[in-house]
Chains A and B, each alone.
Chain A
Amino acid sequence: MGRLKACIQSLFSKKEEEVPANVEELRNAFRARYHHFKLLLSANNKALEIMQEMEAALTGTEPFGMTFVRSRVTMVAANVWQITQHLNELAPGKYEGLYERFKEIQQKINPFIRAGQEGPGGGALVIPLTAVNKEMADQVGSKMASLGELRNRLHVRVPDGFVVTADAYRRFIAHNELQAEIDRRIQATPVEHPQRLYHLSADLQQLIIRSHIPPDLESAVTWAYQDMKAAEGEDVKVAMRSSALGEDVAGTSFAGQYRSELNVSGENIFQAYKEIVASKYSLPAMTYRLNRGLRDEDVAMCVGCVKMVEAVSGGVAYSRNPVNIRDDAVYINSAWGLPKSVVDGTVSPDLFVISREGPRRMIKTEIPIKTHKLISFPKEGVRRLPLKGDERTAPSLQDPQAMELAEMAVRLEAYYGLPQDIEWAIDKTGAMVLLQCRPLRQKEPPHSSKSPPVGGLPSDAVVYQGGFSVSPGVAAGKVFMVKKDMDALKFPQGAILVAEQALPRWATTLNRAAAVIVEQGSMAGHLANVAREFDVPALFGVEGATHRLEADQLITVDADANTIYRGRVEALTAAREPPKPLMRESPVYEALSRVARYITPLHLLDPDAVGFRPENCKTFHDITRYCHEKAVQEMFQFGKAHKFPERSSKQLFCDVPMQWLVLNLDDGFKEEVRGKYVTLENIVSIPMLALWEGIVATPWEGPPPVDGKGFLSVMFEATTNRALNTGVRTPYANRNYFMISKHYVSLNSRFGFHFSTVEAMVSERAAENYINLQFKGGAADFDRRLKRVYFISAILGRYGFRVDIRSDTLIARLENREQDFMEARLRLLGYLIIHTRQLDMVMANDARVDYYRQKVIKDIEGVFNVAPSSGTSTQEAKTSYPSQPVGSISDKGASLRGC
């Protein structure tokens, strides 16, 4: 052994090398280059990671906001810029053209992410309701625009007053320099944590409430209020209602997420105004915008300020059935006192159903016992009053009044051409006043199979039958009781919300809830509206639900048949379609998908193609890919070009000289090597050693026995595929070579007919660790090659890699894991590179495929002691957006590709 060593050493030192005089300078130059290369790799990795995150977000199943879009685009741009810069440092003057390409792409991206699309500004701060109509929605918000339309064009009775406009809102925000501060705080908060979001919401609202009303706005509002006093009397009280811009995008029904203040006295108008503006950042509103992909900057908060109506009774009328598009009857909910109690779900109101066809007639009335009503205090504010005597049982609306209301609903629907949702009140004189009117969305009718599944369920499977459906569908899940705000924050994914009242604030859970069960509330309430919008089945009026059901109990809610079952009733839940991706078609989604067109697609696929040039870089991904390829080449060339022996490639010597070349980029060797060979003992590159262990761990069985067809297919491909015949496609195509440093490896290998590239960075900086694998080619026909790629993909998926397959090229990525995890995965890759060499030959034979699968898994888990990764890469990646499921195939023409 000692003799062999001595022999090798003499072999190494015997070799004479030309040593340039300025070696110290070269060494320094190389260190600088290597540092640029390392920074380029790190930026490259970061850029790819963010692109992947953007693509995952574009599946549209998880919510994200403009903050996400802006920050990801900025991060990608910053990293791609750095990549370009570092490449130009590696080869000064050679790649200057890339900057121009970068700027061109940036110019295309800019318009979609520019912040704060301000309105025209300079318009009126206050507009009297007498001057408002529906064309003014961009100044007064759609809610007040429609109230003005009712008053001035339809001559319907509505309370008089004025609107504090969108320009007033902008004036208020600008006067206090709030927008930048708000944006900053939002960016600093991870939105996927409900608790953090809760604090953010509270902070932002405080910030707004503490701000000052600009003097011009103050005097405009004061004058308008003086006019009201002149018309209505000295102590006129007002109702202040939010009327936000941007509520009516793509079928969204903002459904009163914002605040309204009832019975406000003159001295508190400004306080109430600020509170309503602040409610733009209430938790339900922020969650809602996030889940529906609405942009914060599109929401300018207008505030309607109208005379307070002292309602004897009030409620909501629907010109059609919201839960069944085939039902054209008019539905009216009514309660004693102010209509707010119907909307916020705190009472179980009376129900009147009136036919539309022919002469109107009452189809159905339900008059439950009413326990409370909401009334105004004489000086200010409202209170809940317990009901006594007749009021508990008497209908809160007389039949003729109900008929009049139905008539009105039909008329308004005809006028607007859409089903309407109308808030109404009966005042002390018995007159009907409309407070709000907006389009109503209807749901598909329940599925035809209303009855329990064929064969029936044991009768004790039914927990409850009754109540009424306010949002159709069936879902199973565990019961989660919500009593206070903290419960809603802790609400788990896929649970069933069970609560006493249908409070609007429970709407924050609807992106996570499988179904909703409440004891009180109405189909006209806010919670019901949002449940319909989010396709969450909801059963209301379930008596004693909070006692009948237990926390964590598994149940199935059939909101089509008004039944709750014990356990999961597969027969009912199985046929349900998955919920639609709500983000799709939203403004935020649109913004991301538009910028992504200039970021994620990859056009430069083949580095050997003529078109692999800077001028063909159409996206940031193209630039990234181009720079990476060129940087690797520049690094490889350096040692050669400068006759710098210690930085030119060495042949690996492992008992005998081997067909593996090693180029030391920096600190990959224990000591400097002057001669032609480097021994394995002299290599200290962590990722290379791990790969190597995998390569040599178990002897290769040799090419698998080929079935007749497989061999013919190889012969055929070899004569037709030019790429297989050309021996040298790039200067280093036909050999296996490593480029290494202590923490870096890049291995290009070519065995016969297939090529693979592994690149890895492994150190104690887990956040910078990554492995990229690219695997392609093979000699068999396309079908067999594809099967092999899938075979490898399934194995890689099993151990936590994210795999993307395009054509017969497989790209796998793994990142951000601890050093030992990364090393284990590299051993596995080394093994796979060697042992799957000619598997494409046997891919037509399922039994053989299965034999090899078993063998590979046995080797990996036995020899390397690697356990399969639990779950998908989603849990492993640090990012909060789910990546593609493991082993999934991207169907996009050019999606992500590891470099």
Chain B
Amino acid sequence: MSLNALRVLLVDDEADFLETLEKRLKKRNVGVSCAASGQEALAQLEKGPVDVVVLDVKMPGMDGLQALREIKRRYPLIEVIMLSGHANVEVAIEGMELGAFDYLMKPMDIDQLLYKLQDAHKKKTIHEEKIKNMAG
């Protein structure tokens, strides 16, 4: 599984954060697209395939948990990693009950985030193969 195959969508209302993270992930050969809100993220997902969504928990409008619920409903195979500026056990557990792959906290070490992305991607790949096997 090469890194090039990994496609990530970053969702955060903080423009600076988004821009920096996008740059740093691209340098590490990750395919990155960005969205500034939950609604925008859903629109992006309509347009092209994504493996892992990195989702800010606290955003104006549709908040992270709502967006997560919607993403999982429409695209159950996409893995979602919650990335939050606010430590909150209840939100973390609720997120994972809704199917989030992990709940991480800012500031996040870029390499560790990359490992998490790879692990989430691998989970998705295995899941997809399983479905393929069952189908055929």
Contact = CB atoms under 8 A, between A and B. Distances in A.
A35 B89 contact: no
Contact of A70 (B87, B106, B129, B130): B87
A188 B85 contact: yes
Contact of A74 (B87, B109, B130): B87
A25 B126 CA distance: 12
B105 A187 contact: yes
Contacts of B106: 184, 187-188
Contact of B90 (A110, A183, A190): A110
A85 interface: yes
A457 interface: no
Contacts of A631: none
A73 B89 contact: yes
Given A106-B93, A184-B85, A767-B112, A78 B122 contact: no
A184 B16 CA distance: 14
B115 A74 contact: no
A74 B92 contact: yes
A78 B133 CA distance: 32
A28 B129 contact: yes
A81 interface: yes
A81 B89 CA distance: 11
B86 interface: yes
A35 B88 CA distance: 27
Interface in B25-50: none
Interface in B80-106: 85-90, 92-93, 96, 102-103, 105-106
A24 interface: yes
Contacts of A73: 87, 89
B111 interface: yes
Contacts of B102: 78, 82
A180 B122 CA distance: 35
Contact of B86 (A32, A38, A42, A183): A183
B72 interface: no
Most A-side CB within 10 Å, residue of B105, B111, B129, B130: B105
A25 B107 contact: no
B69 interface: no
Given A73-B87, A77-B89, A82 B96 contact: yes
Contacts, number: 83
Interface string A666-700: 00000000000000000000000000000000000
Contacts of A31: 126
Interface size class of B (residues with CB under 8 A): 20 to 34
A834 interface: no
B92 A24 contact: no
Interface in B118-135: 119, 122-123, 126-127, 129-130, 133
Contact of A78 (B96, B111, B115): B96
Interface of B is mostly: helix
Contacts of A110: 89-90
B86 A78 contact: no
Contact of B133 (A24, A188, A189, A767): A24
A106 B91 CA distance: 12
Contact of B89 (A38, A106, A767): A106
Contacts of B92: 74, 77-78, 81
A109 interface: yes
Interface size class of A (residues with CB under 8 A): 35 or more
B36 to A, nearest CB: 17
Contacts of A67: 87
Given A109-B89, A184-B85, A71 B105 contact: yes
A35 B87 contact: no
Given A32-B130, A74-B89, A180 B105 contact: no
Nearest to B118: A765
B58 interface: yes
Contact of B93 (A25, A78, A187, A188): A78
B111 A767 contact: yes
B1 to A, nearest CB: 12
Contact of B107 (A32, A115, A190): A190
B87 A39 contact: no
Contact of A71 (B87, B126, B130, B133): B87
A35 B109 CA distance: 23
A75 interface: yes
Contacts of B89: 73-74, 77-78, 106, 109-110, 113
A543 interface: no
Contacts of B96: 78, 81-82, 85
B107 A35 contact: no
A35 B126 contact: yes
Interface string A177-188: 000100110011
Nearest to A595: B89
A768 interface: yes
A577 to B, nearest CB: 36
Contacts of B126: 28, 31-32, 35
Contacts of A187: 85-87, 105-107
B115 A768 contact: yes
B101 to A, nearest CB: 9
Contacts of B86: 115, 180, 183-184, 187
Contacts of A25: 133
Contacts of B119: 38-39, 42
A29 B134 CA distance: 11
A180 B58 contact: yes
A78 B82 CA distance: 11
A82 B92 CA distance: 11
Nearest to B92: A78
Interface in A325-352: none
B70 to A, nearest CB: 21
A77 B107 CA distance: 18
A75 B87 CA distance: 8
A35 B122 CA distance: 8
B73 to A, nearest CB: 20
B124 to A, nearest CB: 11
Nearest to B120: A39
Interface string A97-119: 00000000010011001010000
Interface string A581-609: 00000000000000000000000000000
20 contacts: A24-B133, A25-B133, A32-B126, A32-B130, A42-B119, A70-B87, A71-B87, A73-B87, A74-B88, A74-B92, A74-B105, A78-B92, A78-B102, A106-B90, A106-B93, A115-B86, A115-B88, A187-B85, A190-B107, A765-B111
The 3 closest A-B pairs by CB, nearest first: A184-B85, A70-B87, A71-B87
Interface of B: 58, 85-90, 92-93, 96, 102-103, 105-107, 109, 111-112, 115, 119, 122-123, 126-127, 129-130, 133
Given A81-B96, A109-B89, A187-B106, 19 more contacts: A28-B129, A35-B126, A42-B119, A67-B87, A71-B105, A73-B89, A74-B87, A74-B89, A74-B103, A74-B105, A78-B93, A81-B93, A184-B58, A187-B86, A187-B87, A187-B107, A188-B107, A765-B111, A765-B115
